[in-house]
Amino acid sequence: MSNRFVKDNGLTMRMGWTIFLNGLIYVVLILAIWWMLGGSTSGVIIAVLVSVGAFFFQWYFSDSIAMKAMGAREVTPEEAPELHTMIDRLTQLSDSTKPRVAVSNSAIPNAFATGRSPNRSVVCVTRGLLEKLDRDEVEVVLAHELSHVAHRDVTVMTVAGVTGVVAALMMRAGYYMTLGGRRDNNGGIPIQLLFILVGAVVYGLSFLLIRSLSRYRELAADRAAALLTGRPSTLASALTKLSGDMNKIPEKDLRETASANHLALIPAAHGSSGFGELFSTHPSLDKRLAQLAKISAQLSKPE
């Protein structure tokens, strides 16, 4: 479906590569499970069932999982009239499908979008965000989240994340397996250890691919929201406020929403992380503000 959010060819290309590479890793993972289970017909069936089951669960229930992680619930126009009015205006302005609307009672100021398709999407904001930002800032944040839905990067993130889920299940299975010391036929390595090692490698590759896409999609959503609303400086103000507040929140409270961190507008982590940008789900605030300043300069130029 076409919409008025600016098209981002870089995002489209990265989403395609992420799905392709994750799919390749996924196939290798299934073959590895099959091989470690002895290359038998039953091994194939187990590998396929585990993989397909994890894929379907993660894809079909992605919105419910994210909302539960954030403690969110869907709200009606009667319960949140101003929020619905803003989203109605933005969906009309962008000619896009209206998502379900949800609110989390979390005091952490944040927002996210999730769902397996534009027709099954949900946009959620926290009470902390509604209390922290003014109306214009909330609206441009909602535009940012709606662009994720319109660009379909939410769906791609959900699908790509399945590989990591299966790999994590493998590591857990390897840890708890008790097969009476069973070993493979090639190197005498315990099959439990093989499960853990293969799962760890696959999880690491999937982890890096998803984070690379996640950082770029946040920049793409910032740009799309700024151009749709014509208010890049308002989005910059919102990001600055929310990032500043995030650094004041205790680690214990941040950990409660960490599982949905990759979906959030602002990462629920303190800015002093030592893992570097390679492991970050979001671009740095400086990079986001620099892009918005550039857009603001472009919009202010006389035609």
Q: Which residues are part of the catalytic machinery?
A: 145
Calpha distance 142→144 (Å, rounded): 5
Binding residues for Zn(2+): 144, 148, 218
Binding residues: 144, 148, 218
Torsion-angle region of 279 (φ positive above 0: left; ψ -120 to 50: alpha; else: beta): alpha
Calpha distance 185→183 (Å, rounded): 7
Question: Which residues have a Cβ under 8 Å from the Cβ of 255 and sit 6 or more positions away?
Answer: none
